[in-house]
Structure 1
Amino acid sequence: MRKAFMGVRLKRLREERGLTQVALARALELSPSYLNQIEKNQRPLTVPILLKINSVFGVDVQLFSEDEEARLIADLKDVLADPGLGEHVALTEIREIAANMPAVGRAIVALQARSRQASERADAMASRFGLSAEEIEPATLMPYEKVRDYFYAHHNYIAELDEAAEALFDKAQLVIGDVATGLREYLRSEHGVDIVIVPATDTLSPQRRFNRARRTLELSANLNPGQQAFEMATQLAFLDIGDTLDRLAKDAADDSDETFRLARIGLANHFAGALVMPYTPFLEAAEALRYDIDLLGQRFGVGFETVCHRLSTLQRSESRGVPFFFVRVDRAGNISKRQSATDFHFSRVGGSCPLWNVYEAFSTPGRILTQLAQMPDGRTYLWVARTVSRGHGGFGAPVKTFAIGLGCDLSHANRLVYAKGLNLANSGVAVPIGVGCKVCERPNCPQRAFPPIGGRTAVDENERRFTPYPVA
């Protein structure tokens, strides 16, 4: 395992707390000379020292995580691949920024995101109204993008909501696998709200509607018990912990009313998932069942996608589950959900990799596919993918079909039932995938859709190769 040399981060923590090297060394029970060597990256941060930092300062050791560093490296590679910068930044330099100046790295990524969004909005508006891009005032991130980035920044885990949901599960004496019955009674006794099941007439019929005046919560008859429980739990979040939702949503809103309201919904949904699948029982079941998604769905009475989403949130500091990356994509390759508890990264430039098994899932509906996939940096992941479909009504009514992907680093793969039959020790069996064609550095991929940004394509009229856009 690579040693963790993170002296700059430790020095920054020390300076933020207003401590001298001598004072910090005394607090960590180290000699001043040893601490000085750590801050100069002459010695690594060991696990005992990290744990001591956590106990003394209450700092999450995730601050010093190699996963965090790898995640930032991937983001910086994406940003600095832009040929418009006029600079070729070597991977060595990127690693140096991520390891020693992570705040600078995050600022670079944030600035690029603002610039990219402004450019995309300007181009879209110019195309729509026949104007030049210069005539369009650049816009900030769209509200849903701000909310998405808020959850991404929090590793898809909001501790306050998760703990509140677990406490309410016990208070309401809910039963795993039949949460709907208990929630129905709790809503009636604590909030005077009655549940009304309403037949769905068309695709515009809401799945959940709260009538505040009548104190009724209308649920669509199309919802199964697990979905009904989730909708009841979502509404309960607004009723039971509205002040908490308001406070957390303000962190994501950036003074935007629409973003604030979307954030409240996202946070309420987060609470609902934690209430239907309370953290400790769910994590214990996941470990006991080796993260078998179908068996977890049967035990907790919820669907495949809901289980996968919940698995991506098990990052409580004192009892972490497998750190998963969760995505939901459609047939056109649009990623409508992207939640990460780990550092796996796909580019926001030019789409995702066509060799990824999430897209193959559409050719075998309802069947679980597994894949060992290796990124260009050598990191290998185990991916599980399957399609899910949802209808709304009877014959002829539209059906939504998505592919759900759940992945984790190879180091955790042996904890999953899906590793059965896979040769985890042989990296040669992994499918080589990339972060998206425009920023993928693989030179000989036959599935490449675009030439790589910043690379020069070999153009020879006397030669044709099997690999499209060969790199010079």
Structure 2
Amino acid sequence: MKPARQRLFAGYKLRELRNRHGIAQAALAERLGISVSYLSQIENNDRPITPPVLLAIAREFPFENIESDDQLPVLRAAVEAATDVSVPRDRLDEDAMQRAMEQQPLLARRLIAVHEAYRRSQEQLRVLDDRVESGAAEGPQLPWEEVRDWFQAEGNYIDALDRSAEVLRDTLADNEPLDRAIEDRLRLWHAVRVERDDSDATGLSSFDKKARVFRLNTGLPPESRAFLLANLLVRLELPNEMRLVAKNAELATDAARELLSVGLANYAAGAMLMPYGAFRAQAQEVRHDIDRLRQRFGVSFEQACHRLSTLQRPGDVGLPVFFCRVDMAGNITKRHSATRLQFARFGGACPLWVVHEAVAIPDRVLVQRAEMPDGTRYVSMAKGLVKPSGSFARTPRRYAVALGCEEEHAADFVYADALGSNEAATPIGTSCRICPRRNCDQRAFPPAASIIEIDPDVRAAVPYSFR
């Protein structure tokens, strides 16, 4: 006889989860599809958490784990495989997969393995597309590519640096402006004198190690000056932590290791200016309103967006978002995704994506509901930014940043309020080379390995069809 599944009483964990996310009991009950009284009984351990409720929790909070049963992660993966919208036919529901797990566990695990192989093949196709687009289909990665992929593989979260930077922030005086507190610590702990320089000779900043003088361009915005001061402080205070991370990164070239050191200092500076716990809590409170966050923490719009993409601390994750920065030529110069959305890494991103429009319209937030070819929908906002150079002799930098989440998290993303519930989603793709859409008027070229068909008697925006 098959042993009965042990009933799970973990109401206090569910209550802690709800409190961490700042969700009222009624709101959580609605998201889980159960009554408020049922949820109250679960939280008080009067009733166990059933498998359907566990699945609902896993669906709504994919980075949380409130139980220790090894079967749930497998069931969750099986449900994801069975309901993947990129496979258009014969999708199964959660109840069907739960029965399959109980009756045919090996078959369910086989489905998971096939689905993982399919997703790996799609990722390999994206990587191949990237290499073709960059003109580097053969040969080693460039140093900046190594570093970019290393951060992506780490989930854009470096635990040792993040926690150390959080502790460092706590040592700074909180009764004066943050930039002044950093200057005081540089002077008192490291004998570094900060000088303002309006000669334009130093660019953004320069550090004379022998003279212990840090020169800072006065033409920079206050948030940029604060970031550069924080960058110097973490380099002086956390060198061992950064050195250990870089040592374990196993990059192929010295240039990549040097670039990684720069990236780690930038990461730690951002983590110090926006301490993890406080920033995550504030982000949830204001529903990830970037303008309110940047005002509360004295940072730039881009810095706040970037920090949101790093909230991946195990057991304490933030909203799963994607973040990128796009220049005037459409090149993606900074990117990270904690969602299923993958970026074209060497340009050629979909022209229908709202971030391209934002580049041409600075200081205005644009919002878009977009749908990928696999059916996944995203809510994204994009804003064009102009970073002043501080001098007429240097052209200001113009670019746009984009931040978004999957539509199922729209309630936690304030920008979704600008979209009507019936507003159609814009069909976008990763790049034309791998996008399967046949009716796109913005297509630049047909997808790889497709067969082109041309009818001279039919005129359309794109002069061919394909199959």
- Asked if TM exceeds 0.5, the reply is yes
Residue 368, structure 1, aligned to residue 356, structure 2: no
Deviation of the 1:290 alpha carbon: 1.7
1:333-376 per-residue CA deviation (whole Å, 9 max, x = no partner) reads: 11111122222113347711100000011332211000000111
TM-score, normalisation: structure 1: 0.73
Contact residue 438 and residue 465 of structure 2 kept, 8 A:
yes
Q: CA RMSD in A?
A: 3.9
The answer for the alignment partner of 1:242 in structure 2 is 239
TM-score, normalisation: structure 2: 0.73
Q: Which amino acid aligns with 1:423?
A: G
The answer for the alignment partner of 2:320 in structure 1 is 323
Contact residue 349 and residue 438 of structure 1 kept, 8 A:
no
Contact residue 387 and residue 398 of structure 2 kept, 8 A:
yes
Cα distance in structure 2, aligned partners of 1:333 and 1:389:
15
1:262-310 per-residue CA deviation (whole Å, 9 max, x = no partner) reads: 1111011111001001111111211121211111111111111111111
Contact residue 64 and residue 315 of structure 2 kept, 8 A:
no
1:150-201 per-residue CA deviation (whole Å, 9 max, x = no partner) reads: 111112111111111111111223469x321111111122222221112242
Cα distance in structure 1, aligned partners of 2:222 and 2:78:
41
Runs of 4 or more, structure 1, over 6 Å off, are: 48-58, 64-70, 95-98
Contact residue 386 and residue 399 of structure 2 kept, 8 A:
yes
The answer for the alignment partner of 1:172 in structure 2 is 172
Cα distance in structure 2, aligned partners of 1:53 and 1:388:
38
Deviation of the 1:104 alpha carbon: 9.9
* SS of the residue 1:339 aligns to: strand
Q: Which amino acid aligns with 1:190?
A: W
Cα distance in structure 1, aligned partners of 2:134 and 2:437:
27
Trace 1:171-250 onto structure 2 (pairs within 5 A): 171-174=171-174, 178-201=177-200, 205-250=202-247
Q: Which amino acid aligns with 1:186?
A: R
Q: Which amino acid aligns with 2:434?
A: V
Which residue of 434, 441, 444 maps to 1:439? 434
Cα distance in structure 1, aligned partners of 2:453 and 2:132:
33
Cα distance in structure 2, aligned partners of 1:352 and 1:446:
15
The answer for the alignment partner of 1:268 in structure 2 is 265
* SS of the residue 2:466 aligns to: coil
* SS of the residue 2:188 aligns to: helix
* SS of the residue 2:264 aligns to: helix
Deviation of the 1:56 alpha carbon: 6.8
Q: Which amino acid aligns with 1:299?
A: R
Contact residue 191 and residue 212 of structure 2 kept, 8 A:
yes
The answer for the alignment partner of 2:455 in structure 1 is 460
- Of all paired residues, the percent bearing the same amino acid is 38
Number of aligned pairs?
Answer: 393
Could you tell me which runs of 5 or more consecutive residues in structure 2 were left unpaired when the two chains were aligned.
Answer: 10-50, 87-108
Residue 151, structure 1, aligned to residue 151, structure 2: yes
The answer for the alignment partner of 1:87 in structure 2 is none
Cα distance in structure 1, aligned partners of 2:334 and 2:79:
21
* SS of the residue 2:304 aligns to: helix
Which residue of 333, 349, 352 maps to 1:352? 349
The answer for the alignment partner of 1:129 in structure 2 is none
Which residue of 410, 413, 417 maps to 2:414? 417
1:151 to 1:107, Cα distance in 2 relative to 1, 3 A: farther
Trace 1:96-175 onto structure 2 (pairs within 5 A): 99=113, 102=116, 113=127, 117=131, 139-174=139-174
Could you tell me which runs of 5 or more consecutive residues in structure 1 were left unpaired when the two chains were aligned.
Answer: 1-21, 30-42, 75-94, 124-137
1:288 to 1:98, Cα distance in 2 relative to 1, 3 A: same
Trace 1:41-120 onto structure 2 (pairs within 5 A): 99=113, 102=116, 113=127, 117=131
1:407-447 per-residue CA deviation (whole Å, 9 max, x = no partner) reads: 111111111221124234x4x61111111111111110011
Cα distance in structure 2, aligned partners of 1:65 and 1:196:
56
Q: Which amino acid aligns with 1:148?
A: R
Deviation of the 1:53 alpha carbon: 8.3
Deviation of the 1:54 alpha carbon: 8.6
